[in-house]
Every structure is written in structure tokens, then in C-alpha cells.
Structure 1
Amino acid sequence: MKFKHRDLIIFNRIFNAEGGYLLDFSDRTITLFFDEELNIDIDDEQYKEDGTSKAKRVRCLLKKVDADTALHILDKLWLYRVSIDLSITNQDLAEYHTLIESIKALDENLSAGLPPKKSFTGVDYTQLISEMDRIKLLAPHPRGYEFELWLNELFRVFNMAPKGSFRNTGEQIDGSFRMDGAYYLMEAKWHSKETPASDLHAFQGKLNGKASWTRGVFISWQGFSSDGLTAFGNGNRIVCISGKDIHQCLKSKIPFPVLLEAKLRKASETGRCYVAYEDIKSLLIP
């Protein structure tokens, strides 16, 4: 998003950001604030392009994101300032509203931006892997149900707004989740054999009855047969993930959304619905 020079002057003044500082934040507390209040990793390298001070990182973040995200960030920062500062003047309030209205009035092409880098501190990867290993020991019938519940918890841990299984007329959907504003339908299988093309075609049929932008994620514990992937073909709206992919991802302490984003990128570049973890490791930056 493109900030006007006047907007930057107002931002610096009302948030005490002219000397590289930002309000009363320390390096530790600003990390906690952006993590807990906004789920953003303000320490990510992409926000240090203009410098490493607190103010420079936040200004860099605001320039990178879209207008709606910038407004949300500014709202949280203003509420924080109000909570710690009883000396807010009418001029402070007027300038804050001027800054907000200036961003709202930006041309759509100037207000476009990238989603912020999410923060996933505090994730217990060991516990997630332990639960996955526990499910392996269950009998087939409860195992499939427990696998769906475990995936729902995985999505919840990574702030992906999961919804459990639901039934539309004549069809069963194992669940859905959200990532970066997009919604995905999920199919989950924990079978003793690799998933064949017939299961992929069946899931594709469910997607065909949905809005054209709907994407599907097929998660198969045993992975996918090479013949099945060949028969299913390229250019479909399904991204495939194996249990091994997830296990290796969590073992390396890589957030699940990072794995999915890398798979989506490869699917867009190659048309292939399945690319193994080993082939996208270079894209997985924890």
C-alpha cells in the first residue's frame, strides 16, 4: 500500500515513531503485541528492508499490506496508545481520524498489498506429532474419525478457522478451513493403501458443484498412487497432501500454512496436484 508523505508524518507523530521507537514498546513487547493482537510476525525479515528499528519495521509492514489490514493494524495501535496514555489531545484524535480517512480514500490499485506474515509462536509441534502417532495405533473405524478431529485441531492451532464435517444434499464434506482470506474444502482419508484416482475424481465432482473459486485440499495418510495421479491429470482444483508431508513438516517445526502455501505455488506453476515435501523443501522457510 502506498502511504502519502503526510500520512507518514501523522503516523510518526501520533505513535511517537520519529526516532525509531514506537510508543513504549521494547523489542520484546512489540513482538508479543503483534503476535497476540494481530497474529503477525513483526520480526520477519521482509519487514526489515528499511531498517530494524521498531518504527521502521511497522512502517514497512504498513506499506506492504492492503488497506484493510493497515486499518486493522492502526486501530490496534491506537487502542493500545489510548490504554497507556491519558494525555491524548483533540489534535491527536483529529490527526488519527485524518490518517484513517486518507487510507480509506486510497485508489484500489494503490491500496492493494500482500497478506501479512503470520506469527505462529507457542505451537506445540511435539504434541501434534504425538497425537498423530497415537492415531496410528487405533482400529480402522475410529482411526478415520480421530484423524478428522486431529486435522480440525491442526487448523485451529494455526488460526485457519476450521469447520468440521457437514452434509449437503447427497454429499459429505469432511470439513473446511480458511487461509489468507480464501476458503478450502477438505477431504481426509486414512486408508491402508494409497489413494486412487477414483477418490480424487469423486472429490473433484463435489467441487464442481461449488463456486468456481472454491479450492479443495485432499489429505491422504498413505499418500497417492502414481497411477492414480497420472489418471487424475493436471489442472484440477485440488491440492494433495500426504500424512508423510504433514509429519515431516511438523517435525521440522514448519507451520502447516507454510506447507500448504508452497504446495499451492507448485500447483500453480506446474499444474500438478501433488508435489512431495522433499520437492518443495526449498520453499519451506520456517
Structure 2
Amino acid sequence: MKRSALWLVAALFYAAPVGAGATGASYFAVVPFAGLFLLWVAVMRVEPFRDGAAFILPTVVLQFALSSMCLGLGAMLRILLGIEVTAPLMAWLVMGLGALALGRLIWEPKREAEAEALLETALRKLNAFADDAEEILEQDPDLPLKHPTGSEAAALAVAYGDLDALPADGASEDQMRAILIPLDGEVRSSILLDAFLHRAERTGTRRDRHAALILASDGALAWQEIGSGRMAEAFELIVAAADTVTLAHFLRLAGALLDDFPTTHADLPTVARLLDIANQIEGGHPELAEALVSLAQRVEDIHQDLSENG
């Protein structure tokens, strides 16, 4: 709106010398109008000659040329249209001065310069951000895929709240499954598994380790994320916490997973790791140690069978 008004005022300002030429003003009127044009430059800019004193003379010459052109245009119109009316030069000068004053009221050079500076700064920051984002994406093209969408984050938040309502060390598996399994249709498998493994590591509760294990051992999710080693990650969380209760769940769920999806054996801990933990807990938990050895043997057998058949 402000710029539109300024354009109208500028049109009125430049109409003054044209009108003067059309109403019989002599060519010497170029001098006062050139002065008026120079006044426009001085009034409507924050720094009229910020490019240096060397530009003062070219500016003066330019304004004289502009004034001469406008007067000449008016004189040409007078001849072409046969205008016989005359008007005093002072009236046109007053009109130009009035337009200049009105333009100065509409346009505040200092404020506009500040706004332009802020806009320029914002654009520079935006360009810098875009360049940084482009560089990051060049280094890691899959970065957007590693973060939850808004709907995924909302679904995870609801599930977290439901889990938090369960006992930290005594939640039943059925209760947790009722909360966790429906997430498979709402959250991408990679996001879902990472989220609950990280949560288990952060909270350190048996409930959350068990929850991460339930998801990692789910056949559909494990198949989608085959080769990502989520069961091995869950195992390490359990071992680090010396959580023998959840270790027993791990052995049971790992066996069930291998029954349905033998190829997921690669996502379980290595045979050497299973045997290492079996040796460490053999004295205090011989049954779990024996089960770990059996699981290690089964993983080894599946690997050999698949290698022979592959």
C-alpha cells in the first residue's frame, strides 16, 4: 500500500516538469526542476551520496538530463496536441514541491533502510541455513528418514504415557504387548525399534527393557529390519543391567523368533558373545547359562544350514 502511494506521488512529481513544458515554460526552467530533482534525491535517501563525492557530479548531470527530458516531453506534447494554454512556472514548481513533501511523509528512508537491512540479514541467515542443510544432507541423505514424523511422535508419546502407568519392575508382557504391537501400523519399524531401545537405555527400568525386547523379537518388525541387530542391542541392555528376569524372557522370545523366522539369526548376538555371557553367569544362574549355550548352538546350526542351502 505504501509503495503504491509512493508511485502515485512520484508520478505527480515527474508530471510537474512535463506540465510546465506543455504550458509554455522556457527551456531555462530546466534549472529549477533539476534542483527539485536533486532535492528529491537528498530527501528520499538515507545517504544520498554514500558511494562517495565522486558520484555527486554524475548525479547532478543525471538530474539535469532528467529535467531536460521531462520539459522536452511536455514541449513535444504541446506541439503535437496543439496546446495553447499557458501557466506560470511557479505553479508547477509548487506542485513538484508538494509532491516531494507528500512523498517524504509516506516514505521514511531511515525506517525503510532499517527494514531492508533486517530483511537482508534474514535472507543471509536463511541462505546460510539452506547451505548448511544441503551440506548435511549431502553427508547423510537418509537423515530425514531417521526422525519421526509428527504423527509418529504423537503415537510414541501416547505409548510412553501408557507404559509409564505400568509398574517399572513388574509389568506383565500381555499389558505391554497391548500397548506396543498396535504401533507397528503407526510408526515405521526403524523409528519404533530405535525409540524403545533408546528409551530402555535412558530409563534403565526392567519394564522398558522388556518392552524393547518385545518389539525387537516381534516377527514382522524383525523381518522388516533384518540385519540391523536389534535383538543384539536388546541383549546388551539386558546384560549391562544384570537383569536375569528379562534375560529369561530374551531366551524364550529369541527361540520363538527363530522358530518363525530362522533368517533373523543374524540379528541375535554372536555365538561367541552368547557363550561368553553363559560362562559369566554359570555359577549363579546355571539354567540361564545352559539356555544361552543352547541358543548359541542353535544359531550356529541355522547359520550352517543356510550356508549349505544358499
Q: What range is the shorter-chain TM-score in?
A: under 0.3
Larger Cα Rg: Structure 1 or Structure 2? 2
Larger helix proportion, structure 1 or 2? 2
- TM-score, normalised relative to structure 1: 0.23
- TM-score, normalised relative to structure 2: 0.22
